[in-house]
Amino acid sequence: MGSTLRKSQANRKIVSIANRGAPKLREGQREAAAETSQPIASVREKQIGGHERALKAHKEADNPQKTMEVNGLTPVPDSYDYDLIVIGGGSGGLAAAKEAAKYEKKVMVLDFVTPTPQGSSWGLGGTCVNVGCIPKKLMHQAALLGQALQDSRKFGWQFTEEVKHNWMTMAESVQNYIGSLNWGYRVALRDKKVTYENAYGEFVGPHTVKATNKKGVEKLYTAERFIIATGERPRYLGIPGDKEYCISSDDLFSLPYCPGRTLVVGASYVALECAGFLAGLGLDVTVMVRSILLRGFDQDMANRIGEYMTEHGVKFIRQFVPIKVERVEEGTPGVLKVTAKSTTGDQIIEGTYNTVLLAIGRDPCTRRIGLGKAGVIINEKTGKIPVNDEEQTNVPYIHAIGDILQDKLELTPVAIQAGRLLVRRLYAGATTKCDYVNVPTTVFTPLEYGACGYSEETAVEKFGEENIEVYHSYFWPLEWTVPSRDNNKCYAKIICNIQDNERVIGFHVLGPNAGEITQGFAAAIKCGLTKEQLDNTVGIHPVCAEVFTTLSVTKRSGESIATCLMEFSQHGFSSPKVIKLVGKANKEQGFTISHHRRAMAEAVKEDWDLLHYT
């Protein structure tokens, strides 16, 4: 890391050379400049020196007219330190900064991670890279590999019976990889000549931010434009013992010991994903849920996820909320006692766990970045920032992207797309806006869930139940047949708008590789996919995704999508009638899957007549 520091100092030198007009303008002077009429030079070496004028205008920033003048209607004085300052070096912020640098803008990124109550902290790159998607998916993969080890025996692989998981090996590998990404981001910024400061940015006035580094050293920077991309951090319960003893997803991925018996509080996708992989690694996991699973997602799918997790060893405590967490024993991990209260009555329960992971939601980091001083309005209740369809806040020169936006999606690729397109509009004359419609997403629970478009509930609400048609089917991944894994869990569902040529408005899949499957269908939905086109597309055999080309049972019909038959649907034999008939036959025969298998084996030995059971 020593070399990183040296290199970033070198980088700063380049910046000050570029600042040739006022080469010795140091921090103190910069502040002085803000208050006196000492001219500040621009990067472009045009000594305009209008800084005071600009600031004066902005001191009167309540007057939007003045702000407008400074931002475009009158020539902008070339007097800011930077063309663009991005506050927050996460997926969105970095994408925007790098894109702006492409257009030869002078760009600064301020990124600072406030340590968690447990003291966890991390490098450049934001939530996704450090404490979100990346470590989450890697640990999910570790859990999937645990399942693969079990399957592999059925496929002929032999190794000793006892296979244990070592948390530290995994955590270290994951952290090493993240470390390489952090480093990669710094190098990328340097290559693109974006100034990066590991400092906390907050507005102290119009066009001006204060950057405070780890040592408490403060510097002031001005910029023509700003992008706020500070993201969110996990919420705490506000009960005795929460910050002292509980961890959040911000701590979990770098935990220096195996969490042991774990209570996950919450039913967000973060909660279910973490609970899922911890259970997959062999830990005893309980999820405490206040009301419903995966609020905002299709509830039919959410409940199926819950069911699958229950069957795979995750315990659920429903309609309870913790009211107190106490430490019984110190240690790594120690022992914690959790007291919880029913949400429907007065019942109190207690339980002891090694680790309590809070995943009850996330709050935007918008309340302590001086937005008031810059005049940016936030939603007081949620802390989210309302923006127009061009990611512009109420203060025209301040933009915002990513998870902090009100009524937008909290997804890395969305933040990246929004950031890039915003910068292209600002600096490259582009007009394309970020399209927040039909954005696909995937929840990496043990059985992955991919979705794009409307949930069934919202589709009903928006179009009316009579105007939508829901097609659905179970499917049995071929890879699951030999190890006899659950044959009635993987599920495919599409929602079509009857009044619009059965256009596909919702896509939902529960099964392995749901993310890989969903991506292409999301592209097709973007191209206006209809049910007819789905039916006319030839499947790829044998993969899970092909089930979508043979969907024929509507939910409305109430016809069975009997499980013993799922393997045939993969061969294109999923007509409702066949499914119904054989489903019925299966039921009448009291067929379970093992019955089914036995019958199959017998049938091939015996004659055809043996099958005349109907």
Partner 1 sequence: MHQAALLGSAIKDAQHYGWNISQPVHHTWSVMAQGVQNYVKSLNWGHRVQLQEKKVKYFNIKGSFSDPHTVRGLTKAGKEIVVTADNIVIATGGRPKYPMHVAGALEYGITSDDLFWLKKSPGKTLVVGASYVSLECAGFLTGIGLDTTVMMRSIPLRGFDQQMASLVTEHMESYGTKFLKRCFPTKVEKLENDRLQVTWKNADLDTEETDSFNTVMWAVGRAPDTKTLNLETVGVKTNSETGKIIVDANEATSVPHIYAVGDITEGRPELTPTAIAAGKLLAQRLFGQSSELMDYDNVPTTVFTPLEYGCVGLSEEAAVQRHGSDNIEVYHAYYKPLEFTVAERDATQCYMKMVCLREREQRILGLHFIGPNAGEVIQGFALGIKCGATYPQMMKTVGIHPTCAEEVTKLHITKRSGLDATVTGC
Within residues 163-182, the interface with partner 1 by CB under 8 A covers 163-171, 173-174, 177, 181
DSSP state of 385: B
- As a whole number of angstroms, the distance between CA 542 and CA 14 comes to 57
- Residue identified by tokens 């600009």 is 54
What are the beta bridge partners of residue 471?
494, 554
Smallest distance, Å, CB 410 to partner 1?
12
Rounded to 10 degrees, what is the CA torsion of 38, 12, 103, 225? -50
Q: Is 61 left (phi over 0), alpha (psi -120 to 50) or beta?
A: alpha
Of residues 65 and 613, the one with the C-beta less far from partner 1: 613
| Subset of residues 269 to 308 that bind partner 1, contact rule: CB under 8 A | 281
| Subset of residues 187 to 216 that bind partner 1, contact rule: CB under 8 A | 188
| Residue 496 binding partner 1, by CB under 8 A | no
**Cα–Cα distance list, 491 to 86, 447, 449, 512, 548 (Å):** 42, 10, 9, 10, 10
Binding mask of the shown chain, residues 510 to 549, with x at each position contacting partner 1 by CB under 8 A? ---x-xxxxxxxxxx-xxxx---xx-xxxxxx-xxxx-xx
| Residue 347 binding partner 1, by CB under 8 A | no
Smallest distance, Å, CB 99 to partner 1?
12
Of residues 79 and 445, the one with the C-beta less far from partner 1: 445
Binding mask of the shown chain, residues 397 to 416, with x at each position contacting partner 1 by CB under 8 A? --------------xxxx-x
Q: What is the DSSP string of 334-352?
A: -EEEEEEEESSSS-EEEEE
Of residues 212 and 519, the one with the C-beta less far from partner 1: 519
Cβ proximity of 125 and 181 under 8 Å:
yes
**From 435, 457, 466, 588, residue interacting with partner 1 (rule: CB under 8 A):** 435
Cβ proximity of 18 and 44 under 8 Å:
no
**From 72, 157, 244, 256, residue interacting with partner 1 (rule: CB under 8 A):** 157
Of residues 153 and 295, the one with the C-beta less far from partner 1: 153
Smallest distance, Å, CB 529 to partner 1?
6
Of residues 73 and 478, the one with the C-beta less far from partner 1: 478
Q: Strands (DSSP E) along 396-519, which ranges?
A: 398-400, 441-443, 449-453, 468-474, 491-497, 503-510
Of residues 22 and 439, the one with the C-beta less far from partner 1: 439
- As a whole number of angstroms, the distance between CA 606 and CA 610 comes to 7
Q: How many residues make up the chain in this entry?
A: 614
- As a whole number of angstroms, the distance between CA 150 and CA 312 comes to 13
Smallest distance, Å, CB 7 to partner 1?
18
Is residue 541 among the annotated active site residues?
yes
Of residues 381 and 605, the one with the C-beta less far from partner 1: 605
DSSP state of 579: H
Q: Which two tokens stand for residue 584?
A: 């019925």
What are the beta bridge partners of residue 442?
450
Q: Which two tokens stand for residue 66?
A: 């003045």
Q: Considering only 225-233, 294-302, 315-323, 477-485, which stretch makes contact with partner 1 by CB under 8 A?
A: 477-485
From the list 327, 330, 333, 303, the residue with the least C-alpha distance to 316 is 303
Smallest distance, Å, CB 583 to partner 1?
11
| Subset of residues 363 to 392 that bind partner 1, contact rule: CB under 8 A | none
- As a whole number of angstroms, the distance between CA 143 and CA 137 comes to 10
Angle at the Cα of 146 from the Cα atoms of 140 and 147, rounded to 5 degrees: 95
Binding mask of the shown chain, residues 89 to 118, with x at each position contacting partner 1 by CB under 8 A? --x---------------------------
# chain residues binding partner 1, by CB under 8 A: 109
**Cα–Cα distance list, 561 to 443, 474, 513, 551, 553 (Å):** 24, 7, 22, 10, 7
Rounded to 10 degrees, what is the CA torsion of 216, 219, 220, 223? -110
| Residue 125 binding partner 1, by CB under 8 A | yes
| Subset of residues 137 to 156 that bind partner 1, contact rule: CB under 8 A | 137-138, 141-142, 145-146, 148-149, 151-156
Write b or e for each residue in 197-224: b if 16 or more Cβ atoms lie within 10 A of its Cβ, otherwise e.
bbbbbbbebbbbbbbbeeeeeebbbbbb
H or E, element range at 563: none
| Residue 572 binding partner 1, by CB under 8 A | yes
Smallest distance, Å, CB 21 to partner 1?
35
Smallest distance, Å, CB 513 to partner 1?
5
Q: Give the count of beta carbons closer than 10 Å to the beta carbon of residue 593.
A: 15
Smallest distance, Å, CB 73 to partner 1?
32
**From 80, 122, 185, 221, residue interacting with partner 1 (rule: CB under 8 A):** 185
**From 9, 160, 431, 594, residue interacting with partner 1 (rule: CB under 8 A):** 160
Q: Considering only 69-77, 130-138, 332-340, 343-351, which stretch makes contact with partner 1 by CB under 8 A?
A: 130-138
| Subset of residues 576 to 595 that bind partner 1, contact rule: CB under 8 A | 578, 581-582, 585
| Subset of residues 438 to 467 that bind partner 1, contact rule: CB under 8 A | 439-442, 450
Of residues 383 and 413, the one with the C-beta less far from partner 1: 413
Q: Which two tokens stand for residue 287?
A: 């999820």
Side-chain-side CA neighbours of 65 within 13 Å: the count stands at 1
**From 61, 108, 129, 294, residue interacting with partner 1 (rule: CB under 8 A):** 129
**From 199, 209, 492, 565, residue interacting with partner 1 (rule: CB under 8 A):** 565
Catalytic annotation, pick one of 541, 571, 595, 596: 541
Of residues 222 and 455, the one with the C-beta less far from partner 1: 455
Residues 6+ apart with CB under 8 A from 119: none
| Residue 479 binding partner 1, by CB under 8 A | yes
Of residues 317 and 544, the one with the C-beta less far from partner 1: 544
Residues known to be catalytic: 541
